[in-house]
């Protein structure tokens, strides 16, 4: 049997999905893509780069109907379900391309399997209330929560520009998805508000899980003169942090000061930037390359929504945007790598944003000053 590549396997999965889609249409069965498949479709317009399977879901009524009807299907796409195979043990079904085989040496399975698509039954939770974070769902029992990432990015950019000794900072995004774009355009506006002559290197890694790419991009930006880089790229950022740590180790040995910084994202990443080195006097020191972080306060958002639910004010079907006014975004409460002067200036900027005296555009085409930017917003 021929060994196939991941890309060839993905093509077969798409063929299975196409067959299921035709079958469901013919039999008036409703389904929807779900989990990582849904994220990939929205965020990446296809598969998540590090994912290789397809998941779909059906309401219980549609699922039971699908199982009953598909039992009689005679195609090469075979049904694996509790109802049809006594050796199968999952509480969801699979449609398997019977002309393929998966050799799995990691997990023992009591049933044979080829390349497949998972089909998950979804039971009704109409009487329950849900909170959906970082996206929107149009459903009366779901209240959606999103964040003003551009405001957090603005503060990060302001701090980066004030910290920069070279007059050049950088931004690395994972992919051009709304949340990352907002972080980036906010960063640009904040940096320029702090220093109208600041130079900015702007790039996307195209991945949220490529540490090597993150390290390489950071190295390129540092070599080009940037000394503070804001990385909004998930796991890719770990590589950027590693590059900063290696350079900071040399900085401390040569001058006693860190000259290469990273701005974290989503949460306070200070601890992830910690490293051990020796200073110019040979003394052991422990430092962090995380200058500050552009934080989304999920704890604040969820607490506020839960309090509203307790008070009988659940707003199902609506999306709430948490901004700096609700303390939904910002910088960490403690920023040990920022000077007291920069910390004080950041506090002033926060008050300006909360009062409406200062505003931040969320879209790239609304950014008016694009001078001295290397790369496309």
* Mean pLDDT confidence for 303-310: 90
Pairwise CA distance, residues 222 & 169, whole Å: 9
Is 252:285 a contact under the CB 8 Å cutoff?
yes
Verify that 246 and 328 share a domain, yes or no. Answer: yes
Pairwise CA distance, residues 288 & 272, whole Å: 8
Domain with 42, as residue range(s), is 6-122
Of 87, 122, 157, the domain-final residue: 122
Verify that 97 and 181 share a domain, yes or no. Answer: no
Is residue 140 assigned to a domain?
A: no
- For the chain, the farthest-separated pair of C-alpha atoms sits apart, in whole angstroms, at 78
pLDDT score of 312 more than 80: yes
Verify that 199 and 336 share a domain, yes or no. Answer: yes
Is 288:315 a contact under the CB 8 Å cutoff?
no
pLDDT tens string 73-115: 999 999 999 988 888 888 999 999 999 988 754 444 545 678 9
Task: State residue 86 phi and psi, 5-degree precision.
Answer: -70, -15
Is residue 138 assigned to a domain?
A: no
* Mean pLDDT confidence for 280-305: 95
Is 90:96 a contact under the CB 8 Å cutoff?
no
Return the C-alpha torsion angle 128, 131, 135, 138, nearest 10.
Answer: 30
* Mean pLDDT confidence for 250-263: 97
Verify that 195 and 113 share a domain, yes or no. Answer: no
Is residue 131 assigned to a domain?
A: no
Task: State residue 121 phi and psi, 5-degree precision.
Answer: -80, 140
Report residue 123's pLDDT band, with 50, 70 and 90 as the boundaries.
Answer: confident
Verify that 64 and 185 share a domain, yes or no. Answer: no
Pairwise CA distance, residues 237 & 32, whole Å: 32
Verify that 88 and 224 share a domain, yes or no. Answer: no
Of 39-43, 55-59, 234-238, 347-351, give the lowest mean pLDDT range: 39-43
Pairwise CA distance, residues 251 & 95, whole Å: 56
Verify that 170 and 115 share a domain, yes or no. Answer: no
Ramachandran category for residue 330: left, alpha or beta (phi over 0 → left; psi -120 to 50 → alpha): left
Report residue 130's pLDDT band, with 50, 70 and 90 as the boundaries.
Answer: confident
Task: Please tell me the predicted confidence (pLDDT) of residue 107.
Answer: 45
Is residue 133 assigned to a domain?
A: no
Tally the domains of the chain.
Answer: 2
- Mean residue pLDDT across the chain: 92
Is 117:54 a contact under the CB 8 Å cutoff?
yes
Verify that 196 and 266 share a domain, yes or no. Answer: yes
- The DSSP result for 259-310, as a single string, is --EEEEEES--GGGGEEEEE-TTS-EEEEE-EEEEEEE-HHHHHHHHHHHHH
Task: State residue 32 phi and psi, 5-degree precision.
Answer: -150, 150
Pairwise CA distance, residues 17 & 243, whole Å: 41
């Amino acid at each position: 049997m021929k060994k196939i590549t991941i890309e060839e396997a993905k093509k077969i999965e798409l063929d299975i999905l196409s067959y299921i889609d035709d079958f469901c249409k013919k039999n008036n069965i409703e389904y929807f893509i779900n989990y990582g498949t849904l994220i990939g479709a929205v965020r990446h317009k296809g598969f998540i780069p590090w994912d290789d399977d397809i998941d779909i879901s059906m309401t219980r009524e549609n699922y039971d109907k699908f199982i009953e009807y598909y039992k009689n299907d005679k195609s090469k796409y075979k049904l694996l379900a509790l109802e049809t195979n006594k050796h199968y043990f999952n509480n969801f079904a699979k449609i398997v391309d019977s002309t393929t085989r998966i050799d799995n040496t990691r997990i023992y399975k009591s049933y044979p399997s080829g390349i497949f698509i998972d089909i998950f039954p979804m039971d009704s939770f109409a009487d329950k209330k849900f909170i959906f974070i970082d996206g929107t769902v149009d459903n009366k029992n779901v209240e959606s929560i999103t964040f003003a990432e551009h405001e957090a990015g603005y503060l990060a950019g302001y701090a980066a520009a004030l910290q920069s000794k070279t007059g050049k900072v950088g931004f690395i995004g994972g992919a051009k998805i709304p949340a990352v774009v907002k972080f980036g355009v906010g960063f640009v506006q904040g940096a320029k508000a702090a220093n109208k002559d600041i130079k900015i290197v702007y790039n996307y890694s195209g991945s949220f899980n490529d540490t090597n790419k993150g390290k390489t991009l950071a190295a390129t930006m540092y070599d080009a003169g940037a000394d503070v880089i804001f990385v909004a790229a998930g796991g890719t950022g770990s590589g950027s942090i590693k590059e900063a740590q290696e350079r900071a180790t040399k900085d401390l040995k040569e001058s006693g000061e860190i000259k290469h910084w990273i701005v974290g994202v989503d949460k306070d990443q200070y601890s992830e930037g910690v490293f051990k080195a020796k200073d110019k006097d040979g003394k052991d020191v422990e430092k962090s390359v995380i200058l500050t972080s552009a934080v989304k306060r999920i704890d604040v958002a969820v607490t506020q929504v839960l309090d509203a639910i307790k008070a009988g004010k659940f707003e199902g079907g609506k999306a709430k945007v948490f901004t700096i006014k609700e303390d939904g975004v910002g910088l960490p409460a403690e920023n040990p790598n920022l000077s007291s002067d920069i910390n004080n200036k950041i506090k002033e900027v926060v008050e300006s944003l909360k009062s409406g005296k200062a505003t931040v555009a969320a879209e790239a085409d609304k950014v008016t000053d694009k001078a001295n930017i290397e790369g496309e917003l």
